[in-house]
Structure 1
Amino acid sequence: MLELTEAARVTAGIVALSVVAIESGGAFMLRIVTGREQVTDFQRRFFRAGHAHAGVLVTLGLVCLLLGEATTLSGFWRWLAQTGVLVAAIVMPAGFFFSAMGRGRQEPNRAVVLLGVGAVLLAAGVTTLGVGLLRG
């Protein structure tokens, strides 16, 4: 059986509870697709992408958190391997949502930069984890 550190156990618990926030995003998406929330086509696409990224990246982040326990990484590198994807799970959806906010918006605002920041965190996290797993 996989033995979790205290930090990993607490992080996993908090992340599991964050699914409720993602679920509320699903309720918002339901209002959009049923026409009860008026948005532009651009906003509909970005809100959908933000919601999807949140769900997928939280799931992947939990897997990375667990797999990080099987590495010999330490310090910053262990943190990055175990939580880089979880940070990306916040930053990337925020980029989609915040850059599409505002009545009638047709194109992203400057918050779109968060998408790139999240992508870098995602790549750094999974790359560090992969190297850590291969090294043992």
Structure 2
Amino acid sequence: MTIQPWTTILLGALLLSLITVESGGWFLTRVGRGAIPANTLQKNFFRAGHAHAAVLLLLSVAVIPLLDTVELPLTIDLVGRFGIPVAALLMPAGFFLSVLGRDPQRPGRPFVLLWVGAASLTLGLAAAGIGLVVGGAAQLP
């Protein structure tokens, strides 16, 4: 399998972005120790945002190189290549930003980012999955 230079650059950027997830883990330890005041809703949303960021970034690193193994229409390739990483930004942002402030009792308007991210994830997974199945089938003898 030959990985294209732009794919290599994207994968490097995604791996570097995991450093922000690592710092988010440090933030969570401070919340857990009480050094940063947070109510139950905030704690739950902070944990969910952190977990979604990590899992979706790692999923991106796993899926993106596979797309270099098949010939795909540009639109399918781009949606498959960027849908998951975009979700890795939007979904955690929805969790974190929707509970900012002192003692929020329910998520605020930025919660919509979670649903936009979920749509991006669904489209990215569908494009990558269908693209790989169809592209792989086209390579059969």
**Match for 2:55: what amino acid?**
V
2:29 aligned with 1:25: no
Aligned runs of 1:51-66 on 2, under 5 Å?
Answer: 51-66=50-65
TM-score (norm 2): 0.93
Aligned residues of 1:64 and 1:83 also touching (Cα < 8 A)? no
Deviation at 1:132, TM superposition (A): 0.6
Could you list the structure 1 runs, at least 4 aligned residues long, displaced by more than 4 angstroms after superposition.
Answer: none
The match for 1:131 is 130
Separation in structure 2 between the aligned mates of residue 66 and residue 74 of structure 1, nearest angstrom: 16
Q: Distance in 1 between matches of 2:63 and 2:100?
A: 31
Matches within 5 A, 1:90-129: 90-129=89-128
Which residue in the other structure is 1:13 paired with? 12
Instruction: Please give the per-residue CA displacement for 1:82-122, whole angstroms capped at 9, x wherever unaligned.
Output: 12101100010000000011111121100000011000000
- For the 8 Å contact 1:67–1:82, the answer to whether it is kept is no
Superposed CA RMSD: 0.9
The AA in structure 2 aligned to 1:103 is R
> Retained in 2: the 8 A contact 1:91–1:117?
yes
For the Cα contact (< 8 Å) 2:2–2:69, is it kept in 1?
no
- Residue identity in the other structure for 1:77: I
The alignment of Structure 1 onto Structure 2 pairs a total of residues equal to 135
Q: Is the 8 A contact 2:81 2:128 kept in 1?
A: yes
In the alignment, is the contact (CA less than 8 A) between 1:46 and 1:100 conserved in 2? yes
Distance 1:120 1:76 in 2: 16
Q: Which amino acid aligns with 1:48?
A: R
Equivalent in the alignment of 2:77 = 78
Q: CA deviation at 1:126?
A: 0.6
Unpaired runs of 5+ in structure 1? Answer: none
**In structure 2, how many angstroms separate the alpha carbons of the residues matched to 1:102 and 1:60?**
31
Q: Which amino acid aligns with 1:36?
A: A
Measure the CA separation in 1 of the matches of 2:20 and 2:82. 18
TM norm structure 1: 0.96
Q: In the alignment, does 2:37 pair up with 1:38? A: yes
List gaps (5 residues or longer) in structure 2: 136-141
